[in-house]
Structure 1
């Protein structure tokens, strides 16, 4: 082999090693970090992620006393009513006697009738294992959503192969591989003397840089949010522990021209389905929507954020 060919081969080998060093994917298997790609992908996917979870808020509402289901079927899904409730709330009801619980809507009980102050809906009674006309001790606590950031998983240590299990293999001829790489490089590299691409003409300098920045400063500010935006534009029809019951309620709304949404949820391992309608664009539309829904029999419907 001539000295010229030897020099070409040496240059090609050096260039190939330099390019491979810049990209871990081009390195031989024994030079790669076995977990580098997977670890970086998992870290990127989890950084900044935020999840919502239910937390109990006894400072908002909490009672422990006798509750009663009067045996009559009721609309609105899973709910409970109490005279001390101020605003509709999402709560968790527990039956200490059997350990059962249910996520429900809480309403203010307007009518004063003899018996326990906690009035339980038929679907809530089924979830809690209550018998008709048989009072039972119940605990009712308000729920609130809490956003919690998710910490990225800890980085795993690099996995190294067992030296005793490393086997030897015959490498390809490096001289032949280098000559082939050199030929490809020469074909893709412009020859000496090739006219370089012309550089784009430089823009003339602006005499007054302040004047040049004036159009940006004069940009119109974003339009403010409309004053009629509602903080609670949706109407919640009910919370249901059975998906079929939620779908039935949604279908009855469709029958009067209202398009509902069935939203699944989970709290402390208990699945539930919320049926909501909206959003309304202003107070008049919201009042009309509420009136129409209550006229269908869902008298406990109320406005919610989403």
Structure 2
């Protein structure tokens, strides 16, 4: 006995298979869905070292970051900011040292591209902090806020403000900012290197401990007249003050030449002759002289007490 054959079934199956393939291709062409919720904070990017005005900044994932410096107002939307070394994104509490007001900020950009400021805030973040249009002195501290506050910042909102910093602590932070060099990151700001110094002469004597040394400068070729001796600061003039230690030389003539070029003084320390700039009343006043010495090629120069 023969059963009737429905010749339309194979055709229907073929149509269904083709339709399924077209739907799958259409789905695969859909754009990827942007991360939302806690996933929007990952992956965390650290990044490679970069240079700003001759100073190398090396990003580092530092959990206990706590520093003072200057904030500037830049671009961006929401309560966000830019930082040179902290991973992106991450969250920080920023305190205005003038008022003690503290807010939560999401760092999501690299910057600021100036060594005069430690953080760049978006206009909304500066407004919440009541900072002037030109910025101001701040404290920045990395924190791990709850997910509800993270979500508020990711969506362009504001997290609840923190308790205002008491005046006693503000005075300590202001003093710390006044004493530190504006040309250098704060101690907790991550790994920082400077422009490499000139190649050292293998014949140069071994330097004394804790004293930066550079190769002796070659004597002037055309001049036979000895260079005038730079003024040597007296102990009564430097007591309780600050100087810029430029370098130490095994040759007095070389030390005098460098001191004459930079406008510094020469003093003897054991077998070496030190070149110093100053004295200055505080580290902030000594900072321009430190920058001058480093631009002249003495990258080991540092600010230290004159005593």
Q: Given the two structures, how large is their TM-score scaled by the length of structure 1?
A: 0.28
Higher helix share: 1
Which fold has the larger relative contact order, with Cα–Cα distance below 8 Å and residues 6 or more apart in sequence? 1
Which has more radius of gyration?
1
Q: Given the two structures, how large is their TM-score scaled by the length of structure 2?
A: 0.28
